[in-house]
Chain A
Amino acid sequence: MSQPLETPAPDLSEELAPQLAVELGLRPDEYARVVEVLGRTPTVTELYMYSLMWSEHCSYKHSRKALRMFPNDGPHVLQGPGENAGVISVGDGYAVAFKMESHNHPSAIEPYQGAATGVGGIIRDIFTMGARPIASLDSLRFGTLDDPRQRYLFEGAVAGIGGYGNCIGVPTVGGEVYFEEAYAGNCLINAMSIGLLREENLTRAVAAGPGNHVLLIGSTTGRDGIGGASVLASQEFDEKAEDKRPSVQVGDPFEEKLLIEACLELLDKGLLVALGDCGAAGLTSSISEMASRGEVGVDIDVTAVPQREEGMRPFEVMVSESQERMVAVVTPGNLEAAHAVCGKWGLRSTVIGRVTDSGRFVVREGDRVVGDMPAASLAHDAPVYDPEMRRPAYLDEAHALDIGALAHPTDQGTLGETLLTLLASPNICSRRWIWEQYDHQVRLGTVILPGHDAAVIRIGAGTRGIAASADCNGRYCYLDPYVGAQIAFAEAARNVACAGGRPAAITDCLNFGNPEKPEVFWTFHEAVRGLADACRAFGVPVISGNVSFYNESFGQAIHPTPTVGLVGLVDDVTRAPGMAFREAGDVIVLVGETGDELGGSEYLKVLHGLVGGRPPSLDLELERDVQEVVLEAIDAGLVRSAHDCSEGGMAVALAECCVAGGIGADVHLEGELPSHAAMFSETQSRVVVTLAESDVERFEQMCVGRQVPYAVAGTVGGDSLALCGMCEVPLPLLSRAYEDTLERLVHGDPPVPEEMRAG
């Protein structure tokens, strides 16, 4: 490491520095490491920069080791973890980049802006790779809606996601949402974005070429979000949250839309050496990461940065999290042209420094040096921890629950009512109220709209496409993080398979409590292990992801929530069936086998107010075979509709198919199970498929061929769902229970009185 060219004038005493370090969230040993790296007492600017870059949020210091368990390679992988987003090849020279990220803590303070800027951030990660964002998904968790605060958070977050995504013209095509007490003090807002690019346009954020310019493009820099990375995302939530309000950031989707167009044009014209986005830790992270990846240095002058506010200190400029800013490296020869493109789109573009060969990150205010650090030490020398883990005691207690001993409905009347109660459960009912607030069609690519198992997006002009789904049942993960994480993967893959997609790769967003608590870290480690094993079994790599720790309030951690975002490849989008029952007379085949698995079920929660037992078991080989059969049949053009069976069990899955198709069905659920188990058990690896009668035999052969259990269980038709010997419920009742619930829960607003209207 070459010696500092100029040492910054000290502005912190040896006594004060360690104190500031602690305030900024650095541990004493971490501070010592900073001093060691620098060989002197850090300046204020340097201390801020290290405290953010070495925060959990930026450095993954607690999770890094565990994440090495994930498989990252596969036949389609063009870019694995480590860049702003992962990229896979999807054929015909096309590739897709995708990633999921959390914005939990900002959203808990200001749901609209928190969720909106979360979308803005993940979108920037995508076009930074040279990809045009073509679809987003959102994965949400709140407390129960009887609490006004939760309704406020839910409404605000959905409005924010729509407000931002709709404006920039990226369709929000899917997602998931759960309402559970465990999230009351700490909602989860995870956003996933998918971008499309030509393989040859794949861009990486690697700075190069000493003498090249560092160009800041987009919005001005203000004091917003200062310290956001460490203060907001890496500390537990408690009453102190109130004081952290000033660091809320307001998103500007219009500026982002211009950034997308300008940056893609800049890359298209080959005007950039490198491109990076300003996310957590602002200029500090984007520039230090670019520099260290390229093994070069940078020299930045904060006075050159367009500032939104008077009298900002150098450290404020360096760590500000003002939104909608991008950093590019440009050769002197291309500077003119780069400015021109930005100007055309009405964007500011300013040279704020240059690339050097010193390997150092030099920060100056005019000609005064205020920071001089090894660039790589900021980005890569953060400590890596090996946290202690301990299996939580609550597990045995929860597993001990004797579900058989509970009172279960047996007669037709109560079984029917139970089905309606489950359909109207906030965790099962239609999410139409959400996705109708999202533009899910812009770009004309959405072939399967929200409301089915997975969204299908056409790619290019032909029939090729991708299917995407985001899934995680936190209750299963609470009861068994290993199996729960595997089920998150299995369900995402099953959803995609039901849309005719072959799983290609996943991204993830691992939401957990405080990793410094051994019990919490154990659940994290188990979940990662489970997810890694599931990925291996399916030969599906993890190409990107995000870890969000410290999701606790008043010492209470959320359910472990390792959300999986899976993208699959669809050869012919016109064959994607969707889940709606189509024509009277179509034959209903139930693929897979139902066991007595009510542990962690929605039935147990809604009917008995219990979260306990063991989650459903998962046989990865059976799961794979079931999905293969469904895919084979879809490819063969046999499948009229396909819907996987998840929360609420087979009865709910069948009801959803009826409601979606506006037609009834007559089904016989065979087996020795008691009715309530046959109807509501959440056994995995099950899919409801409908076919024309003439195709049933071929389909049966496919099942036999793969030794997949199946049952020809009934036919589509009529205006009620009849479960032979169990219950019969009229279609209108099913629809009302399923369709109206969410809106009613959020706001039973009366319609606007006539006299209040114009004219």
Chain B
Amino acid sequence: MRFGVVVFPGSNCEQDVVHAARHLGFEADYVWHGDTDLSGFDAVVLPGGFSYGDYLRCGAVARFSPVMAEVVRFAAKGGPVIGICNGFQILCEAHLLPGALLRNRGLKFICREVSLRVEDSVCQWVDLPAGSVVRIPINHNEGNFICDPEVLKSLKEGGRIVLRYCDEDGVVDLDAAPNGALDAIAGVCNETGNVFGLMPHPERAVDPVTGRTDGAAFFGAIAGRVAALAG
């Protein structure tokens, strides 16, 4: 299993993702935003950070990096793509995922571990039973997910809402997301479930020395999926 972790100017979690993947026994290497070759990678990660300073709009400039055209092709062929935090914002700007991420409701950056409820979804990056609760840190200023009502409807019907913010017991208050996200949505995927965007940082919850390990499941799920396909 080999993860390709894209490095945009201003990315700052790429080393963390590579460390986490390798810690879990997978291969992981960097992909420069100017490169256009994703061959040899089983999954692509758009890591967190502040690509192009998050100036203008988060992800707005990174979306035009040469590598993104290739990421679009990779995703179209069913290749697994995950966008974490800034990566999620880039996927939305690139229209690989619906909606957009606005300033947090309180206008404050939030770095905190949160509880997330795994929803019943088609997402290939998750193999935890629906309803399970994971604890993973969030770390963003623009995680306030929004989309228009029709899109929300299609997300619900298509099983494309992957994670929701909840309390320790897994209870979701649709209006109580720490960042104000619509329907407390923390992560969504595309129709086919191979493209996944989430605000929380699974790579920060992998190594027991620095806290919990709930984030490992996402790396494991997709690796299992890839191995299965490889037969």
Contact = CB atoms under 8 A, between A and B. Distances in A.
Interface string A738-759: 0000000000010010100111
A166 B9 CA distance: 15
B210 A445 contact: yes
Contacts of B53: 167, 252-255, 257
12 contacts: A169-B49, A169-B50, A252-B53, A254-B54, A436-B108, A436-B110, A437-B110, A441-B139, A443-B15, A447-B210, A752-B180, A759-B152
Contacts of B10: 167, 254, 257-258
Given A257-B50, A439-B139, A458-B210, A444 B204 contact: yes
A441 B111 contact: yes
Given A437-B110, A438-B111, A257 B210 contact: no
Nearest to A447: B210
Nearest to A450: B111
B13 A169 contact: yes
A752 B105 contact: yes
Interface string A235-273: 000000000000000001111011000000000000000
Q: Return the 4 tightest CB-CB contacts between A and B, nearest first.
A: A169-B12, A254-B53, A167-B50, A437-B109
Given A167-B54, A252-B53, A254-B53, A444 B203 contact: yes
Contacts of A436: 108, 110-112
A346 interface: yes
B152 A442 contact: no
Given A253-B53, A437-B108, 12 more contacts: A163-B109, A167-B53, A254-B54, A257-B10, A436-B112, A437-B109, A439-B139, A441-B137, A442-B13, A444-B16, A444-B19, A749-B106
A152 interface: no
A576 to B, nearest CB: 10
Given A258-B9, A754-B175, A442 B16 contact: yes
Interface in B45-93: 49-50, 52-55
Question: Which of B10, B49, B110, B111 has the most chain A CB atoms inside 10 A of its CB?
Answer: B111
A579 B204 CA distance: 22
Contact of A345 (B9, B183, B201, B210): B9
A614 B111 CA distance: 40
Contacts of B108: 159, 436-437
Contacts of A169: 12-13, 49-50
B176 to A, nearest CB: 10
A435 B109 CA distance: 10
A438 to B, nearest CB: 6
Nearest to A432: B112
A574 B13 CA distance: 23
B16 A443 contact: yes
Contacts of B148: 759
B67 to A, nearest CB: 14
A758 B182 contact: yes
Interface string B165-199: 00000000001000010110000000000000000
A506 interface: no
Interface in A402-453: 435-447
A437 B104 CA distance: 12
B146 interface: yes
B120 interface: no
Contacts of B55: 254
Interface in B110-165: 110-112, 137, 139, 141, 146, 148-149, 152
B209 interface: yes
B20 interface: yes
B39 to A, nearest CB: 22
Nearest to A162: B109
B180 A757 contact: yes
Nearest to A438: B111
Nearest to A155: B108
Interface string B209-231: 11000000000000000000000
B207 interface: yes
A463 interface: yes
Contacts of A558: none
Given A253-B50, A441-B137, A574-B209, A758 B109 contact: no
B16 A458 contact: no
B33 to A, nearest CB: 10
Contact of A442 (B139, B141, B182, B207): B139
Contacts of A435: 111
A250 to B, nearest CB: 12
A458 B207 CA distance: 12
Contacts of A759: 146, 148-149, 152, 182-183
A483 B12 CA distance: 42
Contacts of B201: 441
Question: Which of B12, B105, B183, B203 has the most chain A CB atoms inside 10 A of its CB?
Answer: B12
